[in-house]
Amino acid sequence: MKTPPQYASHKLLVANRGEIAVRIIRTAHRLGIPTIAVYTRSDATAPHVVLANEAVPLRPDNEDPVSNARGYLDADAILTICKQRGVTLVHPGYGFLSENARFAQLVVDAGITWLGPQPATIESMGLKHRARELAVEVAVPLVPGSESLLRDVEEAVGLANEVGYPVMLKSTAGGGGMGLVLCTNTEDLRGKFASTQARAQSLFHNDGVFIERYFPAARHVEVQVFGDGCGHAIHMGERECSVQRRHQKVVEEAPSPFMLRHPAIRRNMWAAAVRLAEHVNYDSAGTVEFLVDDATGEFFFLEMNTRLQVEHPVTEQINPGLDIVELMILQGVMKHDCPRASTVLHHPALDQRIYDTPPGGRRHHAIEVRVYCENPAAQFKPCPGVLQQVEFPKYDWLRVETWVETGTTITPYFDPLACKLVVTAPDRREAITRLSQVLSETQIYGPPNNIQYLRAICESQVFKEGAATTAFLDTFNFSPRAFAVMSGGLETTVQDYPGRRIGLGIPRSGPMDSLAFRLANIIVGNEIGTEGLELTLTGCRLVFHTTAVIAVTGAAVKVTVNGEEVPMWARVIVPADGKLILGNASGFGMRMYLAIKGGFPEIPRYLGSKSTSLGLGGYQGRALAAGDQIALGDCEPSGALPHISLPVSSIPSYLTDWTVHVLVGPHCDPTFIAPDGISEFFATKWTVSSASNRMGVRLDGPRIVWARETGGEGGSHPSNILDNGYAFGTVNVNGDTPVILTNEGPDMGGYACVCTVASADMWKLGQLRAGSTVQFRRISHEQAVELLRTQNTLTKTLAEYNASLAPWMAPELDDFTTDPRLHVIAADATHGRPSVVFRQAGDSAILVEFGEMTLDFAIRARIHAFETEVRRRKLPGVHFDSLVTSQASLLAALVDSEASLPSNVKSLVFPGRKITFPVVLDDRWNREALDKYMRSIRDNAVYLPSNIEYLARNNGLQSAQDALKQLVNTDWLVLGVGFYLACPFLVPIDPRCRMVGQKMNPSRTYTPRGAIGIAGVVAAIYPIESPGGYQLYGRTLPPWQTWGKGYDFRPDSPWLLRPFDQVAWEVVGEEEYIQLEARFDAGQYGFKVEETTFSMAEYAAFVDTVGTEIVTFKSQQAQGIEHEEARGDRIASSLTAQVWKINCTAGDAVNHAEQVLVILEAMKTEVNIEAGEEFVGRRVKGLGRGVREGGSVSAGDVLVYFD
């Protein structure tokens, strides 16, 4: 922004936030005046902070969010910033300090220009009794009432008897509808007088009160004025603000529909407003407010607002080209530069003739509504939360004043105003039509707001006729099309079907029992994938504000509507104001489903789905809780919906002993599991663990009989493999614990997978309850596809014809054994081609393995080339729809794609990008995470207290600084993206920098987002705050931006990195990082991105040139690893305690990480000492000195030694 010469010496500070701060900055920038924003912690990335030329935090050392938020009221702090930053102009906006005479005086005394009236004027008009006195002096009519402040209740009662009831008891220092109390009789007045004084003292530090006659049928009309501070003022017309709730304006319009019908009264009101402004030598913009008797047209002075009004845009809209903020700024600049008292601003917009337009001469009508995040159905309770979707329509006649966007958090610390919508039209009738249209098209989805309420007002006959008075909303009936949550139960979430199908570690989500979910939707007449509620184990209590058609399916549960029991698996009508209660699941099922006709239209889709997933999607990314309200669609019954009640034979059976059909593979072969182990696995009735959840169903049972001792480079346990893709529903073996990966589970990882649940049986996983049993029954791919086809045909039949269904429980098929290896290509050493194994991974996925289980750049390059070829051929990929594409045809196409690759990958060149990330090494946030880990989880391990020092020792380096230097001295190659929220996995391109380290065990419960850590030879950048076990050494900006904000992200792809991108590091300090993080969160940070390539030939040549150094590095690395393993061949006690029980002896093998070796007792609490991941597969060498049952140990004493 280039500053014009006349403004070169100026700098404008906006002492406000939200939409008004944005609006002021917009005009200042148009004029070319530099701006300064102030902000509190919760506003650190708000638009006004981003838009301003400079931004300064308020109370930066105050970490309490409540007291920190009061920074906008800290006059002394703001004044200090003004002085430090060379501010010449201060605009206070509205609210906060805008009518604080002390603050205005401080600004003026500091030689800074206050963009508003003089402090004395603010003080006089801020005291309503003084304002009334000034109004009387120039014959401005007053509401009958007090001539001065009331001395006591007796004076109040006497005056009220003279004026006549009802009366309004008012605080002289009040504002914004606060400090007003209606009294209908003497007893009422006596009862409220003292409490009103006390509240006034608490709110405004002034207990002065006075009385005015209350007019139950009145209009609220105000006149915009602008004064030069030298005794001259003009009016800019009136605005009507009669539509109010709790004395706060909701709808404002100009001109006033009442005044258009009473032009003489209108002119008199204009003149009265100007007289008062000139009487007090008013300076800048202000508003004179009047009460108008709807019956007689008499008007009475209420108060003068000595600031810019919230509703000023409607005045600007009916006067094209008018910018009131511009006038305030220009007058302030002139007074600052030419401080002579006689200097006045000459501007075309200050010509009174522009605004003295007769009713018939006005060509514009404007209406403004205020959109608040508040719940009109709950007494307008503020509703903080995340705005999950914000979209405004775009029209030439629509003005949107806002500060929110998708991803904005409405905090509880400030007024919940989200935006102002202002429509302009040739006449009022058309303006109302346009306003109704805009309100129907505006999408502000997240916590409840008043848009439906505003639309109801707009479409009411009273409003259309211009007949609304200040009492209009007191009796306005409004019932939202929504239900309110009285109790959300254990876990009630919004889900849709089939959920997300993106991959990249973005959870699929959706209903765990998709069959019951789809049937519920069919029963109410929805599309089968329409969003509904999933309830886990316990029910919920809901109140419907409107009549709705519902259906409850899933586990058996008692369902009542207004206390009357209603059936499950049937269409039920809940009346308006009806209470729906779902009890707790009985029998053997685990989850219930509630479908509502029309779904939840104001739950936005996130990455293609409305499903709730670990902080994303659904309603606020979480389970429903008491006080939530969900908007409904077309939920009422209609003649087109015949009654449906499923016959008993068509309702799925929920059991305690389940048989689940699976397809073997991908790793169910003698390479991984011994033949006896395979037989035992499928013969076992596994018990469902209480640790199961939506990420996976954990199973308890016998140990797996493995065919190998270790996982090689994948890890020390035979279940470990190098990271590979996981199919949905695969049975993943973590150590010796089978886990069925379900809706929130990872889509890649480093453990073998025995079998995969057939798609037609996936619904059963949602009903598995802790303690029930599961036996896996192997079937062929053809059988699995036929089961799925039959199931889909039955649901389609019901949806289309409302026919009764055959029983859902398909017959148990005979056990079918087969080799999961669908096709094997042997290695060709002559031509340098690795082996390739195509493995069955359920009925809708094929896992393709290249080469041996080792990390090899050449292998990874071949995989990338293969993926590129598959995309080029537009094949469905390794995940496919088995009802559309046959396994055999896809397998043939994949095999042919692999065959088309060159034998030698050295000729391959991969396009990519080189992206530079700022990095703070050995940062305080990671150190805090480790400190928390040591205090709460584990305080003694080879990698503690410093992960970086451990990495240095483990890789044979001299110091932590040497390790850090080596980690950033090379670019890194992105080998894969996935696991969770597109987490990137990277490896240093330079082999001399490839450090190795073990995972922390147990894992941390907290890791900062953007943390960088190493496990094995691979590094990861954590996309969000999460648990984790990688060894941490630095922090960068996360490669994930939830809402897709920023130059390098999009809402439909909020991740940054792709395979074969290269990452370079730029070391920065912590303070610089904080600034970069704030820009990143605000969507204003741009990564340095360069197009590049990765040449396998160049890489091979580089490796050859540094071959000797690589050998040297690997040698010292091996020595470091050996030394660390020697240090880590023991488990020590983390506390002083008694040895209660010893569960191991010399020679015992450690079979899984959770194996309890010793049980300690301290303060009457048992403490299990588990083996941990690093000792799986090793044998106990012996116990520590003096370790015996009944003996005692001190913190740090060795408990167990290992070979």
Name the residue among 903, 901, 875, 872 with its Cα closest to residue 889: 875
Whether the bond between 666 and the residue before it is cis, its omega within 30 degrees of 0, is yes
What's the CA gap between 369 and 401, in Å, rounded? Answer: 11
Of the chain, the end-to-end C-alpha distance in Å amounts to 69
What's the CA gap between 428 and 362, in Å, rounded? Answer: 11
Q: Bridge-partner residues for 108, per DSSP?
A: none
What's the CA gap between 1061 and 1092, in Å, rounded? Answer: 8
What's the CA gap between 779 and 815, in Å, rounded? Answer: 6
Lowest mean per-residue pLDDT among 342-351, 622-631, 946-955, 1110-1119: 342-351
* Average pLDDT for 417-444: 98
What's the CA gap between 287 and 298, in Å, rounded? Answer: 19
Residue 96 — left, alpha, or beta (φ > 0 → left; ψ -120 to 50 → alpha)?
A: left
What's the CA gap between 224 and 309, in Å, rounded? Answer: 9
Name the residue among 898, 853, 896, 871 with its Cα closest to residue 724: 853
Examine the pLDDT at 642 and tell me if it is beyond 80. no
Q: How much is the pTM?
A: 0.88
The pLDDT confidence band at residue 7, using thresholds 50, 70 and 90, is confident
Q: How do the residues of the chain divide into helix, strand and coil, expressed in percent and rounded to 5?
A: 30, 30, 40
pLDDT digits (tens, 9 = 90+) for 556-586: 999 999 999 999 999 999 999 999 999 999 8
* Average pLDDT for 631-652: 81
Residue 139 — left, alpha, or beta (φ > 0 → left; ψ -120 to 50 → alpha)?
A: left
Residue whose tokens read 């409607």: 314
pLDDT digits (tens, 9 = 90+) for 887-928: 999 999 999 999 999 988 888 999 999 999 999 999 999 999
pLDDT digits (tens, 9 = 90+) for 223-279: 999 999 999 999 999 999 999 998 889 999 999 999 999 999 999 999 999 999 999
Report the pLDDT value the prediction gives residue 716, as an integer from 0 to 100.
66
The pLDDT confidence band at residue 408, using thresholds 50, 70 and 90, is very high
Examine the pLDDT at 624 and tell me if it is beyond 70. yes
pLDDT digits (tens, 9 = 90+) for 502-537: 989 999 999 999 999 999 999 999 999 999 999 999
- Contact between 731 and 662 under an 8 Å Cβ cutoff? The reply is yes
Examine the pLDDT at 25 and tell me if it is beyond 80. yes
Enter the tokens of residue 546: 């409107």
CB hemisphere CA count around 854 (13 angstroms): 7
Whether the bond between 480 and the residue before it is cis, its omega within 30 degrees of 0, is no
Report the pLDDT value the prediction gives residue 1175, as an integer from 0 to 100.
83
Name the residue among 535, 718, 509, 542 with its Cα closest to residue 629: 542
Examine the pLDDT at 39 and tell me if it is beyond 80. yes
Neighbouring CB atoms inside 10 A of 61's CB total 6
Enter the tokens of residue 809: 């429980």
- Contact between 281 and 229 under an 8 Å Cβ cutoff? The reply is yes
Sign (positive/negative) of CA torsion 166, 172, 175, 179?
negative
